[in-house]
């Protein structure tokens, strides 16, 4: 019997079992390593997501080049996940490999600024808008510092987020709606974070206005288009109203472009002419070499300079907003970012990835139609997402309702068994700077094969 996605459930279940068995049988080296690793690492992985993100066991990677990665069983995959956007420059892009090798020879970590940092900050200012920049090692840390600055600047504590968001693993953003109330998202988080966050649905301006009305919100942290619950596009006028409402409420606004920066050369901020108080970047800006960044106005930047009354106690400036880390803005990350931004993430690269993104979206829609399914596709630049319902949802709650985790897991393992590394369920396929038309066509061919197979039952 077909379920809401239009797929025959029994047929899908049988196919899933067969694909899972094939996946394990064809990867003896990965399975043996996983067994060995369980003794030295919880769940047998160095970071729990590596086990969490996939329903099938993780494969152990050997290397990657361009749009492909290879596992230790010598399976090569066309990579449509690109490491959750962080490999948008492609794997091991030559220019960055050279720059990183050069910097390794010159030393990578001094706790002193390197000139590359100025070049990167100047470039980011010209490309994205905000004149002042600070650097961390990840977007999580950039968001954490942005939240602290906003709290200091406004004298308020509450952070407002959109349902279905992900902004990293900082306590302040790891909250969800549970029966309409804000609650910690996972275990190990203090209950107090619930009181410091508010969550509304994306595109719901009425709820947004009501949530800002008490004038206790320090910061709204938003993606321009939401990317972690499918690709959810803003409705006409949403961002203008978001800006107006935050200004009226004395609330600061941060646009998190960590993912969406892959959609356009100046991010969706520049493409759509958005205004914000902070702009957050990460993942691919240094071609996957760890680096996070946030941009801000000169007025907010002044908060980072110790205020007049600050005193230095045991080397720590008391009265300074809490930012910084030993490895942040290290010379290696900055050298990688300089080359990634100037030589890899060029305007031409974004024109090409956007054209490939359009090709991918058109091809996905055609395959869906051929299979007689009522699914829909959203696309922005080189990034796309297929929803299992006829119209793309407008917010996180409806996106969750429309989804079918089992079906996503089946698509992923079906594709992995045929040499394509499909994206995570929340994200959707993305082309990198290294992808070609032939790569997109191969992906579409396999997607077509999948929908034909799964609707056969
Ligand atoms: C929009 C957004 N912001 C921030 C982050 C956190 O990035 P990182 O895990 O590199 O700290 C993510 C990660 O997926 C993200 O999607």
Nearest CA to ligand 1 atom 9: 168
Show which of 344, 379, 405 is a domain's final residue: 344
DSSP labels for 16-69? Answer: HHHHHHHHHHT-HHHHHHHHHHTTTSGGGSSSTHHHHS-SSPPPPEEEEEBTEE
We report the CATH number of the domain holding residue 154 as: 3.40.640.10
pLDDT in tens, 385-410: 999 999 999 999 999 999 999 999 99
Q: Which domain holds residue 49?
A: 9-79+347-454
Same domain, 146 and 241: yes
Residue 188 CA, ligand 1 centroid: distance in Å: 19
Q: Which atom of ligand 1 is nearest to the CA of 223?
A: 1
Show which of 344, 367, 397 is a domain's final residue: 344
Residue 86 lies in a domain: no
Same domain, 365 and 376: yes
Residue 307 CA, ligand 1 centroid: distance in Å: 31
Q: Which atom of ligand 1 is nearest to the CA of 257?
A: 1
Report helix angle 238-248 to 205-212, nearest 10. 10
Q: Which residues approach ligand 1 with their CB closer than 6 A? A: 84, 138-140, 143, 166-168, 223, 228, 256, 258-259, 282-283
Show which of 304, 328, 344 is a domain's final residue: 344
pLDDT in tens, 291-345: 999 999 998 988 887 666 566 767 666 678 899 999 999 999 999 999 999 999 9
State the Cα–Cα distance between residues 14 and 9, nearest whole angstrom: 9
| Look-up of token digits 């769940």 | 43
pLDDT in tens, 250-284: 999 999 999 999 999 999 999 999 999 999 999 99
**pTM summary value:** 0.96
Same domain, 330 and 181: yes
């Amino acid at each position: 019997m077909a379920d809401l996605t239009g797929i025959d459930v029994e047929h899908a279940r049988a196919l899933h079992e067969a694909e899972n068995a094939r996946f394990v049988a064809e990867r003896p080296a990965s399975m043996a390593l996983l067994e060995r690793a369980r003794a030295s690492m919880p769940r047998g992985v160095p970071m729990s997501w590596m086990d969490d993100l996939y329903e099938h066991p993780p494969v152990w990677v050997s290397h990657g080049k361009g749009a492909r990665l290879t596992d230790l069983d010598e399976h090569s995959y066309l990579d449509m996940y690109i490491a959750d956007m962080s490999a948008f420059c492609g794997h091991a892009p030559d220019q960055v490999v050279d720059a990183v090798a050069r910097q390794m020879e010159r030393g990578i970590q001094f706790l002193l600024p390197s000139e590359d940092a100025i070049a990167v900050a100047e470039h980011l200012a010209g490309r994205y808008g905000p004149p002042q920049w600070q650097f961390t090692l990840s977007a999580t840390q950039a968001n954490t510092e942005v939240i602290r600055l906003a709290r200091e600047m406004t004298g308020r504590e509450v952070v407002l987020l959109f349902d279905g968001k992900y902004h990293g693993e900082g306590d302040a953003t790891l909250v969800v709606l549970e029966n309409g109330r804000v609650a910690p998202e996972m275990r190990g988080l203090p209950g107090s974070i619930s009181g410091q966050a508010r969550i509304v649905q994306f595109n719901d301006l009425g709820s947004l206005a009501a949530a800002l009305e008490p004038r206790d919100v320090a910061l709204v942290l938003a993606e321009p288009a939401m990317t972690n619950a499918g690709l959810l596009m803003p409705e006409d006028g949403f961002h203008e109203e978001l800006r107006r409402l935050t200004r009226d409420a004395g609330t600061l606004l941060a646009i998190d472009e960590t993912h969406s920066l892959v959609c356009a050369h100046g991010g969706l901020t520049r493409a759509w002419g958005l205004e914000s108080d902070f702009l957050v970047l990460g993942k691919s800006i240094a071609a996957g070499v760890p680096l996070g960044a946030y941009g801000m106005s000169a007025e907010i930047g002044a908060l980072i300079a110790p205020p007049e009354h600050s005193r230095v106690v045991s080397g720590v400036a008391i009265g300074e907003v809490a930012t910084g880390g030993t490895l942040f803005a290290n010379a290696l990350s900055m050298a990688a970012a300089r080359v990634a931004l100037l030589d890899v993430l060029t305007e031409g690269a974004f024109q090409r990835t956007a054209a490939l993104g359009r090709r991918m979206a058109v091809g996905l829609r055609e395959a869906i139609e051929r299979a007689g399914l009522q699914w829909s596709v959203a696309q922005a630049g080189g990034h796309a997402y297929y929803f299992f319902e006829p119209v793309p949802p407008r917010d996180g709650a409806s996106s969750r309702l429309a989804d079918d985790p089992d079906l996503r897991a089946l698509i992923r393992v079906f594709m992995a068994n045929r040499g394509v590394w499909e994206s995570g369920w929340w994200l959707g396929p993305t082309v990198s700077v290294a992808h070609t038309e032939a790569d997109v066509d191969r992906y579409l061919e396999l997607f077509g094969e999948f929908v034909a197979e799964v609707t056969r039952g």
